[in-house]
Amino acid sequence: MESGFRSYAAQTVHYFDRPDDGVLDRPLDSPAAWRGAEIVRDRSWRFALTAEHIAEIDAALAAVRVSGRPTAALRREDFPLPTLGAEISRWRAALEVGGRGFLLVSGAPVERWGEAETAVFFWSLGLHLGVPGAQNPDGDLLGHVRDTGDDVADPLVRLYRTSAKIRYHCDAADVVGLLCLRRARRGGFSRIASSVTVWNEILRRRPDLAPRLFETFALDIRNEERPGMTGWLPIPPCRFGAGGLRTFYHSDYFRSAGRHADAPPLNPDDLALLDLYDEIAGSPDVRLDMDLAPGDIQFVSNHTVVHARTRYEDTPGSPRHLLRLWLSL
């Protein structure tokens, strides 16, 4: 680890170092096996920053300005959060494999802070929660999720750079955080679902297909390939070990890997399994939709939650803009 963050390679290795006790053959009952229709009435996954917390953050931002240290060089001790720190410990427990797997923090005064100071705050909050990491081989540490005008039809485009719908997926980091600077005029909902609940449902409906999730699928790596690399990687969606089910799922990239001539093609059962996975995760009783408002921060486990996004339309002159952070716990 360098300068308080992990490289893309180191973070990916950490994320995929999943315990493996063999194929799971039973449903799991755990806090991670929630259903959206039930948990939407449970407010325990929501946390509102108080005036005391904001004052504490303002003081830390002021200290960073005086120090002159660049954001990527900051350490946890450079951004003291004595009061909020106790809450962050509880957030971390909720994001572990044995916890619920997600939370929503609200009340960050992003309009007052502006984009630059909000980015410092978000990065520093990540330092308290875990270890930030690069989000691509180029080493980008804090992503900007907005429509850049990229062509959705381009097989190499990363869909977060468009306004298109994004199907259910996970990122190669223990946790992904999204902080909303500006919302869309219409759409752009963050849609999440418990991958443990999806597993339980697949096992119930199609026990013949369920074991396939513990075998490798070809994952298209899009525009992240480098000289000498293949354009796809063999990834098993599920691993079960240490009492928990850890899932890496990427509907779009599993489906598009077939564009590579050397990638194993998806057979009819594979396609049926991916369709069933998307159907269950997207069903109204399983999914939970969040319309993030400015100042909202969503943290999601990439082991026990799959996330998606609905298509959106921007407000002219004020496009939807989120900051994205990847963390190892």
Q: Where are the domains of the chain?
A: 8-328
Q: For residue 225, name the pLDDT band (cuts at 50, 70, 90).
A: low
Neighbours of 216 (CB within 10 A): 12
Instruction: For residue range 281-329, list pLDDT tens digits in order.
Output: 999 999 999 999 999 999 999 999 999 999 999 999 999 999 999 999 9
User: CATH: 3.40.50.20, 3.40.50.720, 3.60.130.10, 1.20.1250.20. Which one for 8-328?
Assistant: 3.60.130.10
Percent of the chain at pLDDT > 70 equals 96
- pLDDT surpassing 70 at residue 137: yes
How confident is the model at residue 2, as a pLDDT? 45
Reported as type and span, the H/E element at residue 71 is none
Which helix (H) or strand (E) is 301 found in, with range?
Answer: strand 297-301
The burial of 158, by beta-carbon neighbours within 10 Å (0-12 exposed, 13-18 middle, 19 or more buried), is given as middle
Integer CA distances (angstroms), 158 to 30, 31, 228, 252, 253, in order: 33, 32, 21, 11, 10
Q: What is the mean pLDDT of the chain?
A: 94
